[in-house]
Chains A and B, each alone.
Chain A
Amino acid sequence: MAEDFRIATGGRIDRERPLRFRFNGMQMQGFAGDTLASALLANGVHLVGRSFKYHRPRGIMTAGAEEPNALLQLERGGGCSDPNMRATVVELVDGLDARSQNHWPSLDLDVGAVNDLLSPLLPAGFYYKTFKWPAAFWKGVYEPRIRAAAGLGTAPTGPDPDRYLHRHAHCDVLVVGAGPAGLDAALAAGRAGRRVILVDERPEFGGGWLDRQDVPAELGGRLAELATLEEVTCLTRTTVTGYYDHGYVVALERVTDHLAGPDPDLPRQRLWRIRAGEVVLATGAIERPIVFVGNDRPGVMLASAARAYLNRYAVRPGTRAVVFTNNDTAYVAALDLAAKGVGIACIVDARANPESARVAAARAAGIRVVANAVVTGTEGRRRITQAAVARLNDEGGLAGHLGEPVACDLLLVSGGWNPNVSLFSQSRGRLRFDEHLQAFVPGEAVQATTSVGACAGDFSGFEGDPAPLRPLWAVPADRQSVRAKAFVDFQNDVTAKDLGLALTEGFRSIEHVKRYTTTGMGTDQGKTSNVNALAIVAEKLAKPVTEVGTTTFRPPYVPLTFGAIVGHSRGALFDVVRRTPMHEIAEARGAVFEDVGTWKRAWYFPKPGEDMHAAVARETAAVRRTAGLLDASTLGKIDVQGKDARTFLNRVYTNAWSKLAPGMCRYGLMLGDDGFVMDDGVTACLDDRHFHMTTTTGGAARVLAWLEDLLQTEWPDLEVYLTSVTEEWAAIAINGPRARDVLAPLVEGCDLAADAFPHMAWRPARIAGVAGRIFRISFTGELAFEVNVPADRGAEVLEALLEAGRPHDAGLYGTEAMHVLRAEKGFIIVGQETDGTVTPLDLGMDWIVARKKGDFIGKRGLEREDLRSADRRQLVGLLTAEPERVLEEGAQLTLTPNPAVPARMVGHVTSAYHSPNLGRSIALALVEGGHGRHGQTLHVPMPDGPSIAALVTKPLFIDPEGSRLHG
């Protein structure tokens, strides 16, 4: 396809670098420096998509980020594509493959356009009204159809192959926008030696200057000077998407999207997270469309956009244009177009008596100016072919048509200019309505924010003045047909009539009207529609705009990909992974790992042919028969030192610590001040002012933070120092009747005999030649030792222990076997038997609450009446009537089998396993008044069968006398 609309000379394209691209399968050509939109227009393509709701033909309306219509899907191969890309900002790249969205079977012939004919059925709020009944229809019929018919682009099916980076930056001054005002601000700050970041969304700096017929010569000088300023960082292709608290600004840099064969080391996009001392906004202004019937037809374009295509890209957007304006700026566009051979049929100016140098220049150039008039409608199937023009009367109503409609293939519109206040509003700055401009301008700033140039309402840098203008939001309709549509929000297909309907139905708040009609809710965030909608609502309510309200702009300013937001945080880098010093040993022995917090813990060790059940059964039985080894390194470990360490322990644990002698350990339960169990663990006394505390694996960080909080804020008088030593130590638990036999040959300097080294003692020792500690503590009810050695020696000590264990058939067991073993003994796991609402009494652990000692955290909380009630949920054991049946953790318990719904639920299962040592299933549960229910049968209703009956027992299934512990 030939570039029939390219002008032979001029523009900022590189004619030495022709680029080939495809649009809906058609091969086309453009140049480096084109956007996809300018290249399409050069090829004479205006119709680029179908609208969201009515499937109306739509063209290219703008030349910038505000584009509501020209959203295309870019195919990148391999299931990878980018939906909803604005053709007006996509840089042309060789081989680009674009296609239209939201049409079927083809762009020219779209079946969904029947929606346009059915439009009386699709009024404002149609989502809420039409599809309400019957409810089942929503899921089966309406929703799939709406989704199929009214989508935007198609989500890619393959994983995103690209890399995205985050970059943190700090600066004194961030300047957003590198038009003339932004360049001046950056230069001023840079000359003063301040650290400056200057960003602009376009590929080159210059802003509005680049859209002029002759780019001002000063641009080159300013860019040259900027390059000499070392503290000024210049970023092109970088859009600020969010302006948050305290000068925190997020900007998206498109690094390689414009390159055909980018360096694979470069990220596709870079998300800048900038903390700026002050922010200068130089974001320009966005021209306003005017709302009139048929204002969405391809070929209807903002006047400034046509000028940009003409001057910057050397493209004629049409051959014969009608210009519809209420201010002077469109005259500049008309004159530029006329100079490049585009016929100007007429300028329709809503102002009663436009007089200015621009108007005079247009008249002098022979352009017909029709004053006090408006465009009332357009015709043309896939492109505008004519525009109807009517005079206005004194009240602003229509005074009759001016002859026959004017033939044209281009209609340029200017309804005035909106300073681009999005970022100012995001920064929480308040907006003010400027009567002269009939637009919102920045009011009082809340942060260190300065707006300069057009975004501040200062249009002195413009050729042509946006004011005085005749306020004109919606042209009165000259046809009352239900199908005559005057669009306010192009992307979401919201018409002026929809706004009227919302008001008729009683909506008053602009925020409600917006949501009900979906005005401004599209991916363009209403950049071209919000102010028009507000003013139309104001007009219909006969109120000043300021009384109707303003709209709030929210991040992101333009859509950004999830990839950019996520950055490196995906896959293996999504979260921290912590591995113990013995991880490789477990891995080499075929361990299956489970995630416990951020830790990888060996879950079980299947031998060839074993499933999880078989492996756990073998590991569990081996511990009670001979011995087993567990990597316990993940337990939280806190070093507690200081002269008040003992006092501190007395205050944070429920039991007494005053008499714990050096060389001994004690199990402790930690509560919150509400009386509920928070954590547990064993603490060893190293000496009178030095303790080694352990916590649960998952609670380690939380407990340390909590204890620090208490020391710093409640008890600053206590001299206690806390240090996390979790990762200093490798811990190996040896459990089972032969634990001593396994360990003894490797130990020097410590007598392991029962009388010399009793239960709940600890001793310094050398284990396999490594200096460490041995704790005689048990989480299985068996004779047990826990060896602690420095982390970097853990692997060698474990290897030695495994070697020593071989004659005893003592191998590694995983966390699942550990869970079964402790459940057989009824030992709780915080976070499994407890959920933040469970007291020690509920757990049957009254023995650990030393009510006679002084105050401790949780003591007062436990005195609350409800926490002393006898019908609280209490820990019990459960034995199913069918011994093989393992209950589901979390299952609810009822008093009767197969109860009618809703049933009274009297408890829930907290842990359930098959116990190979008992040859049956066991479970722990929290049951209302459970301590008094031993011997009763409860029932577990199941979704797919009869209830399961279970006998309530003590939560202790094996070795009730505890004789094994002392082996």
Chain B
Amino acid sequence: MLLIDCPHCGPRAEIEFRCGGEAHIARPVAPEGTTDAEWRDYLYLRRSPKGLHFERWNHIHGCQRWFNLARDTVSDEILAIYPMGSPPPDLGRA
């Protein structure tokens, strides 16, 4: 069970959180102008990398705030935690 350092509450057990899937999937600003393929990509297509993954987490049983988190999916090491709206940090790895 991961130990996640909520930016607002400090380190808490994973059961207090909910993972919201891959981060940096922006809802298109003008959905009506998107093609079916673009809309499909936004709705359904997600990466499932072995290694570095940027994902959204919500401290649902705590402050209820969303934040982004960079995790190595092999070691489960949490490499960075950063606010919603910020670009993914450069962690010097692919």
Identify the A interface with B (CB < 8 A).
Answer: 244-248, 275, 428, 446, 673-674, 705, 708-709, 712-714, 716, 855, 859-861, 863-865
Contacts and interface: CB of A to CB of B under 8 A. Distances in A.
A248 B84 contact: no
Given A245-B1, A860-B39, A708 B64 contact: yes
Given A246-B1, A247-B3, A712-B84, A860 B64 contact: no
B23 to A, nearest CB: 9
A673 B60 CA distance: 22
B32 interface: yes
A248 B32 contact: no
Given A246-B1, A446-B75, A673-B27, 20 more contacts: A245-B76, A246-B2, A246-B3, A247-B3, A248-B13, A275-B3, A275-B13, A428-B75, A674-B43, A705-B58, A708-B58, A712-B66, A712-B84, A716-B85, A855-B31, A855-B32, A860-B31, A863-B32, A864-B36, A864-B39
B20 interface: yes
Interface in B33-51: 34, 36, 39, 42-43
6 contacts: A245-B2, A246-B76, A247-B3, A275-B13, A716-B84, A855-B32
Query: What DSSP secondary structure best describes chain A's contact surface?
Result: helix
Contacts of A674: 43
B66 A713 contact: yes
Given A247-B3, A446-B75, A713-B56, A860 B32 contact: yes
Interface string B55-94: 0101010001110000000011110000011000000000
Nearest to A705: B60
Contacts of B28: 860
Given A446-B75, A860-B32, A712 B65 contact: yes
Contacts of B76: 245-246
A446 B75 CA distance: 7
B80 to A, nearest CB: 15
Nearest to A863: B32
**What 8 pairs across the A-B complex have the smallest Cβ distances?**
A860-B31, A246-B3, A712-B66, A248-B1, A245-B76, A713-B84, A714-B27, A245-B2
Interface string B1-38: 11100000000010000101000000110111010100
Nearest to B23: A713
A713 B57 CA distance: 11
A248 B64 contact: no
Contacts of A275: 3, 13
Contacts of A865: 36
Nearest to A856: B31
Nearest to A714: B27
B66 A673 contact: no
Nearest to B29: A855
A246 B5 CA distance: 11
A714 B18 CA distance: 18
Contacts of A708: 58, 64, 66
B9 to A, nearest CB: 15
Contacts of A861: 39, 43
Nearest to B60: A705
A673 B32 CA distance: 12
A752 to B, nearest CB: 39
A428 B65 CA distance: 31
A101 B64 CA distance: 52
B77 to A, nearest CB: 8
A859 B33 CA distance: 12
B53 to A, nearest CB: 15
A428 B72 CA distance: 13
A865 B13 CA distance: 44
Contacts of B3: 245-248, 275
A860 B34 contact: yes
Nearest to B78: A246
A97 to B, nearest CB: 38
Contacts of B20: 709
A863 B30 CA distance: 14
B54 to A, nearest CB: 13
Contacts of B65: 712
A673 B27 CA distance: 9
Given A245-B2, A428-B75, A860-B32, A709 B43 contact: no
Most buried by B among A247, A714, A855: A855
Nearest to B28: A860
Nearest to B26: A714
A863 B31 CA distance: 10
Contacts of B27: 673, 714
B61 to A, nearest CB: 11
A864 B60 CA distance: 32
Nearest to B30: A855
A565 to B, nearest CB: 14
A865 B36 CA distance: 9
B39 A709 contact: no
Nearest to A858: B31
